[in-house]
Each structure stands twice: as C-alpha cells, then as structure tokens.
Amino acid sequence: MTTNPPARPARAVPTAVYVLGAGVFAMVTSEFAVAGLMPQLAEGLGVGIQQIGYLVTVFAVAMAVGGPVLTLALLRLRPKTALMAVFAVFFAGNLLAALAPSYSAMVAARVVSGVASQAFFGIAISLCSQLVHERVRGRAVGVVMNGLMLGTLLGLPMATYIGGRLGWQAAFWAIAVLTALAAALTAAIVRNPAGPVPDGPGGASLAAQITVFRRPHLLLALVSSTLIIGATFSVFSFFTPILTEVSGFDDGTVPFLLLAYGAATVVGNTVVGRLADRHTGPTLLAGTLLNAACLTGFALFTDVPPLALAFVLGVGLVGVTMNPAMAVRVQRAGGTQPLVNTVHSSFITLGVILGSAIGSLLIPDYGLRSPIVLGIVMAVSAIAVILPALRRPRPSGGLQTDAALDVRDARLEQVG
C-alpha cells in the first residue's frame, strides 16, 4: 500500500518543474553553441564558415523530423524513464561532438543531439503539465521555457567564452557535464505523476494519439506557433548584421544589446506564463499584435539607433515569449501527451527554419531590412490564424474535455 504525499496547493509549481527547466537549459546551450563557436569550429575541422553554418541547419532539421520519431519510440515508457533515456542520447551526442575528429563526425553529433533535444522538449512540457493543476499549466510551462530564455541569455555566452579560451572541444565537454548534472537532478527530484495518466505515455494507444492531429483547432494552433516563432527568428537570425551595418552600432556593443534582448525574453516569458492559463487566446493575439508593431517600428527606424534598440527589446518581450500561451493552446486542442507536445516543438522549429532560410534568400536582392518585413508578414499571418481560437468557447472541462471528445469521436466512428 502506497501513501500519497501531502496535497500541494493547487496554484503551486513544484521544484520538479524547475528541474525540467534546467534540462531545457542544457539542450538550448548545446543548440546555440555552434553559432558562438563558428570561427574555432571552421579552423579546427578544416572547413569554411558556410559549412559550419550548415551544422545549425542540420540540428534544426534533426529536431523537427527526428524528435517526434524518438518520442514515438519512447511512448510506452513512464515520463521520467523516457526523460532519462533522452538525457543519455543527448549526452552521447555532445560527447561525440567533443571528440569529433572530422566535419562528418560533427554532423553526426549534431543530428543525435538535435533529435534528443526535440524529444526532451515534448516530454518535459507534457510532464510538467501533468505535475501541476490545470489552472497553473501555463505558468509551469513558462518556468520550463525559461530554460530556453536563459540558454539565450547565459548558455550561449558561456559556451562561447569556454570555447574561445579553451577550444571548441572544451565547450562541448562543458555541455556534456551540464547535461549530466541536469540528469542527476532529474533522477533525484522529478517523479512520475501520481495515479494513471489518461493521455500520457502508455495511457493512450498510438492510434488514439495520432488521431488528435485531425482536429482542425489543433492544426490551426500548430500553424500559428510556426508563424509566431518564424516572425521573430526571421529578424533574430540577422540581428548582428542589421544592428552593425544599418543601425550603426559598433561590433563591441552588439553583445551587450543581445544580452539586453535575452533579459527581455526572460521577463516576457514570465509574464506570458502568468497570463497563459486564464487568457490564452487574448494573450496570443495581444502579444503577436505587439510583435507586429515592434517589427514595423524596427523596419521603419532601423537607422535610428535609440529607436532601433527600443524595438529590438520590444521583440524580445513579445516574440519567442509566446511559448507558454502557445503550449496551453495546443494542449487544450490536443491533450498533454508527449507526442502532441513534441510535434508542437517541431512546428516551432519549422518556424525557426523558415524565418532564417527565407530571410537569407531575401537579403542579397532586397537588403538587410527585408527579413524584418518578412517578420511583419508572418506576424500578421499568425494573427489571422489565432482569431478562430478567440471565437471558440473554452470547454468547461479544460484539457480533459478535449481528450474526452477525441474518445467520443473515435467511438462514433466505430459505431458508424
């Protein structure tokens, strides 16, 4: 006979959720490390900067495609066991990167790390949503996603500093150690949800978990996430050349500007996490409207340094910080199971790929302002996709009601 732990206040976020955020921090630090170590990697692996740039693309594609595949392979495991398996794969990827003797080995390392990173995001967000009361799920997701924001704010500078002083191999060794520490904390603190989890690993059949992707509101939510993140990354990917070549900031100032941008994302993510539970649709709409306005201001006043900086910080406050509200919208439409959350992360990654890739194609013909205009177009498109969610009344039963609807639909299909 097992004894349940004392009841936790309904609005409390347990320590385990913060530990999941530490895991995200390790994943994001590895993801961004290549961007900060391009010269060292190019020299050490005997290739050009362009080839090192492809490592960023390889990681993103591995996340988008391989993450859901790994999640599918782990569906029958309990969440904590699945997380520990992902940690092992991710640790192996960074170990391979630290020992990579050639460019091809580094490509393989980035594929392994990217696949594990995406699976971790999906499983961690699913687990954090199951560990807290429904009324604070957005806040809990915000805590986990602060690992992403802190990865931008602290993880990237840390990896860049270590790689610059001790060599790029040392940076990946440091990330491997960080991964081991996050895994140890997870093993010690994180617990599986008490009782049966109706839409968690092992709780729903694979067919039932796939069926939810036929729901129109879930598809709209996934597309809106792609557009929201794409709008931000179409600009974020080119902040450095835009700020130096158009706005006129010197190279030594830009790292501090990016640090301020990272701080803005932490603040924005915390605020959105607080609003996401009770005001999901309005928060998404207001944030994306503000992002479109900031991007428009940045496009119009790129060559006015004080205004350019103000609008960059505005993008930091209301861009990628929509993640908690995006996650709550997706979970209400499709449930909290890991597959839904991992596929959602893949759609987010698709936004990163599209924003940066299309922006790169536009610059040669239309200049450095063109990615900002692309961001405006994607933000306006996101607004159009968000609006249907505002017209849909929230079910009184929350996430479980949506899951129940899926069961009902499946039964109706069988009867029919």
CA count, 13 A, side-chain hemisphere, 45: 28
Residue 7 included in any domain: no
- Cα→Cα distances 12→22, 134, 135, 136, 175, Å: 18, 11, 10, 8, 31
CATH number reported for the structural domain that contains residue 284 in this entry: 1.20.1250.20
Q: Are residues 217 and 305 in the same domain?
A: yes
Kindly compute the dihedral angle of the four CA atoms of residues 386, 388, 391, 393, in this order, to the nearest 10 degrees.
Answer: -90
Residue 172 sits in the same domain as residue 283? no
- Report yes or no: 200 and 209 within 8 Å, Cβ to Cβ: no
Residue 321 within a domain: yes
Domain tally, the chain: 2
Contacts of 272 (CB under 8 A, 6+ apart): 138, 142, 283, 287, 321, 322, 323, 324, 325
Is residue 244, in this structure, part of any structural domain at all?
yes
Q: Are residues 222 and 292 in the same domain?
A: yes
Do residues 52 and 168 both lie within one domain? Answer: yes
Domain-embedded: residue 277: yes
Same domain, 153 and 215: no
In which residue ranges of the chain is pLDDT below 50?
1-8, 197-203, 395-416
pLDDT on residue 194: 66
37 lies in a domain? Answer: yes
Q: Are residues 159 and 211 in the same domain?
A: no
Asked whether residue 154 falls in the same domain as residue 272, the answer is: no
- Predicted pLDDT at 408: 41
Q: Give tens-digit pLDDT for 311-338.
A: 999 999 999 999 999 999 998 888 878 8
Same domain, 407 and 316: yes
Domain enclosing residue 296, as ranges: 200-416
pLDDT at 42: 87
Cα(208)–Cα(224) distance, integer angstroms: 24
pLDDT score recorded for residue 10: 53
Distances in Å between the Cα of 112 and the Cα atoms of 55, 91, 196, 221 are: 12, 9, 32, 28
Using the 3D structure, point to which of 166, 195, 224 is the last residue of a domain. Answer: 195
How confident is the model at residue 392, as a pLDDT? Answer: 61
Residue 8 lies in a domain: no
Assess whether 281 and 347 both reside in one domain.
Answer: yes
171 and 303 in a single domain? The answer is no
Residues 183 and 255 in one domain: no
Token pair 């449930």: residue? 335
